[in-house]
Amino acid sequence: MNFEHLIQINDPENPLIEPLDRQQLWQGLLHRVENPIPFLPGLEAFTILERQADTLLRELDFGPAVIQDRVTLVDMHSVRFDIVPSEAHAGGGLRIAIEEPEPGFLFLRFTYETTLANNPNSEDRAYIEYVKSAYHQSDVDCVRIIRTLAAGGPLQ
């Protein structure tokens, strides 16, 4: 299954939304890379196994499951997380890209690539809709955490 959606970060026409600039948004995404615990419910620990200029290999410990992911950074533009296929996990990917179609209008585009069937039968449709909803909620939480970090607030 492939799934993508946008979350609007800035809306200059809505004074109730505290604006973030590209640098703040990028720093928030880097925080997700360097310390994923606040962003991934259930994550108990993580280890950075390998670091290069624009990639990292991490081990994520969720207690009953341990997975590895490779993170690829495109400076000030996008972060890509690719789960390394293993016996415990079939693999998949997430790309988070910063988009700015007009000055001052920032968005995050979340693009998921999973091993779930793209053409599900009727029994699988409800499950896939549940997964999409969970991804969307996780991404809304990600933006909330980035806003908290940008405001200098503590993470829970």
Which regions in the chain score pLDDT beneath 70? 118-123, 153-156
pTM: 0.91
- In 3D space, the residue among 95, 93, 129, 114 whose CA is nearest the CA of residue 6 turns out to be 95
Instruction: Characterize 70-92 residue by residue with b for buried, 16 or more Cβ atoms within 10 angstroms of its Cβ, and e for exposed.
Output: bbbbeeeebbbbbbeeeeeeeeb
Tell me the pLDDT tens digit for each residue of 93-110: 999 999 999 888 899 999
Confidence at residue 156, expressed as pLDDT on a 0 to 100 scale: 47
Phi and psi torsions of 63, nearest 5° = 85, -95
Which domains are seen in the chain, by residue range?
2-150 (3.30.530.20)
